[in-house]
């Protein structure tokens, strides 16, 4: 039985070459990178130095600008809370987007309780930031703009250069959650006027539990207040014994990404396009969500109108792993806040599926997915009174549904 994994935006498998690089650092070279007095420590430190150079090289940064963390969630926290505390004398206003990852949004929410003023900007219908609204939102007390490079649900890529220029013009720090972009498309924070950038290994074929925060060291030299104290590791910005095997794996993953991203992106964009075309040719009322020009090569978010996504997934989810546009909260199934921010109604948001392809996705995977999901959609629509009404020409938007 084929098992197809199309949820690479949630996590990627570890590339076997990454695992090979990591293995010696669990037993043979198990030293603490902070042990300065013996060869066990020196070996570990050398391995971390090499990995730091590989990670820095992937994003065109200086090695000293890379702070290793436990992942992008921690990096987002360190960047936003760290700037808020470090620059409190300059101001307390932060600007971000409604479509950011929870690691950014929840961090901002917490800071609001500690005196921060946060503006959550709407996005346009295609998921892109409104640059005029951004510039208008900047105030005298604005210290930080936080905009993700690429969205995890839609793959939409924000105009980072233009945002960087606006931030530079107003002397505001620019932070980006680069998690979904780093290792997949060329990302260079310095070129784009980004001062802090969070990313993580497990979204780019590295291990889970290791990430990084890029912190600009020149023009300007940015500082963040540590959120973890105890020993002053990572230039005092993040204490704690370094996860040496994880960092070695992150470094290897970065080197592989640098060498292979162009080829991967080209191959995956063709498969992604095949998937979209296959659905559109076989089915009516299929909509791709978000801007289709400025987006990641391996992602598509598709609504199958009048089909409930969670139900649709049940028709194939033993065989195909992907995410729907609904999020399970404790009480109910909520439509994705990202899709709602794009202006999708609850019905279209609930009828969406996110397909995120990856390095190990094959053409056979895509063929199998098309076949299974087309069958599933047809099956669901055949059973649906709403679909029957649609086919009979009833204008469903004008129907007033009574709630009993
Ligand atoms: C996955 C993800 C995160 C969280 O990363 P972890 O390393 O799992 O903490 C943050 N931001 C975005 C955009 C993500 O996709």
Q: Please give the average pLDDT of every successive group of 10 residues along the chain, which has 404 residues.
A: 91 98 98 96 98 98 98 98 97 98 98 98 98 98 98 98 98 98 98 98 98 96 96 94 98 98 98 98 97 98 93 88 80 87 92 97 97 96 92 82 64
pLDDT of residue 403: 62
| Integer angstrom CA distances of residue 373 from 96, 282, 315, 353 | 36, 10, 8, 10
In angstroms, what is the span from residue 70 Cα to ligand 1's centroid? 11
Atom of ligand 1 nearest to the CA of 148: 13
Q: Is 328 a catalytic residue?
A: yes
Contact (CB, 8 A) for 93 and 119 = yes
What pTM did the predictor assign?
Answer: 0.96
- Please state, in angstroms and rounded to a whole number, the distance separating the CA atoms of residues 22 and 24: 6
How far, CA to CA in Å, does 364 sit from each of 273, 280, 360? 14, 19, 11
> How is the beta sheet containing 66-69 ordered, strand by strand?
66-69, 211-215, 196-200, 173-177, 142-146, 93-97, 117-121
Contact criterion met (CB below 8 Å) for 338 and 299:
no
Task: Give me the pLDDT at residue 318, please.
Answer: 83
Q: Which of 12, 69, 71 to mutate to test the pocket of ligand 1 (most atoms within 8 A of CB)?
A: 71
Can you give the pLDDT at residue 294? 98
* Cα–Cα distances in angstroms (integers) from residue 190 to residues 65, 113, 272, 273, 274, in the given order: 11, 32, 30, 32, 35
Q: Which of 68, 73, 148 to mutate to test the pocket of ligand 1 (most atoms within 8 A of CB)?
A: 73
pLDDT at residue number 331: 67
Q: Are strands 117-121 and 93-97 parallel, antiparallel or unpaired?
A: parallel
Predicted pLDDT at 234: 94
Between the CA of 178 and the centroid of ligand 1 the distance, in Å, is 9
The pLDDT value recorded for residue 333 is 81
What is the Cα–Cα distance from 227 to 206, expressed in whole angstroms?
Answer: 24
What is the reported pLDDT for 329?
A: 64
Report how far ligand 1's centroid is from the alpha carbon of 73 (Å). Answer: 6
Asked if 184 and 257 count as a contact pair (C-beta separation under 8 A), the reply is yes
Q: Which atom of ligand 1 is nearest to the CA of 150?
A: 13
pLDDT at 404: 56
Domains with residue ranges and CATH for the chain: 4-8+261-395 (3.90.1150.10), 16-256 (3.40.640.10)
Q: Which residues of 129-143 are buried (b: 16+ CB within 10 A; e: fewer)?
A: beeeebeebbeeebb
Tokens of 367: 């063929």
CA angle 242/250/357 to nearest 5° reads 145
């Amino acid at each position: 039985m084929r098992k197809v994994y199309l949820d690479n935006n949630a996590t990627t498998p570890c590339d076997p070459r990454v695992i090979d690089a990591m293995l010696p650092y669990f037993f043979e070279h198990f030293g603490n990178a902070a042990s300065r007095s013996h060869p066990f420590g020196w070996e570990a430190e050398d391995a971390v130095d090499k990995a730091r150079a590989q990670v820095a090289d992937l994003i065109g940064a200086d090695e000293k600008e890379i702070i290793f963390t436990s992942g992008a969630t921690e990096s987002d926290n360190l960047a936003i809370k760290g700037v808020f505390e470090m620059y409190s004398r300059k101001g307390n206003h932060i600007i971000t987007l409604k479509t950011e990852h929870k690691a950014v949004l929840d961090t901002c929410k917490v800071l609001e309780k500690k005196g921060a003023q946060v503006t959550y900007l709407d996005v346009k219908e295609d998921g892109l930031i409104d640059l005029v609204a951004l510039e208008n939102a900047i105030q005298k007390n604005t210290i930080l703009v936080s905009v993700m490079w690429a969205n995890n649900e839609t793959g939409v890529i924000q105009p980072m250069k233009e945002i960087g220029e606006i931030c530079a013009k107003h002397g505001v720090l620019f932070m980006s959650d680069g998690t979904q972009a780093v290792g997949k498309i060329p990302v260079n924070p310095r070129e784009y006027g980004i001062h802090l950038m969070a990313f993580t290994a497990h979204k780019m074929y590295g291990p889970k539990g290791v990430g990084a925060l890029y912190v600009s060291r020149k023009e300007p030299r940015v500082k963040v207040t540590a959120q973890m104290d105890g020993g002053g590791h990572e230039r005092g910005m993040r204490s704690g014994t370094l996860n040496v095997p994880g960092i070695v794996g992150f470094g290897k993953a970065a080197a592989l990404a640098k060498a292979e991203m162009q080829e991967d992106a080209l191959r995956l964009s063709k498969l992604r396009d095949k998937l979209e075309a296959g659905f559109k040719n076989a089915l009516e009322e299929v909509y791709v969500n978000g801007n289709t020009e400025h987006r990641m090569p391996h992602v598509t978010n598709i609504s199958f109108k009048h089909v409930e996504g969670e139900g649709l997934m049940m028709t194939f989810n033993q065989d195909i792993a992907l995410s729907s546009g609904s999020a399970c909260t404790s009480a109910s199934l909520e439509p994705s806040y990202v899709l709602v921010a794009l202006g999708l109604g609850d019905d279209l948001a609930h009828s969406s599926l996110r397909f995120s392809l990856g390095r190990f996705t094959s053409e056979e995977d895509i063929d199998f997915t098309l076949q299974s999901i087309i069958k599933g959609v047809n099956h669901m629509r055949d059973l649906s009174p709403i679909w029957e009404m649609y086919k009979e020409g009833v204008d469903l938007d004008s129907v007033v549904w009574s709630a009993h």
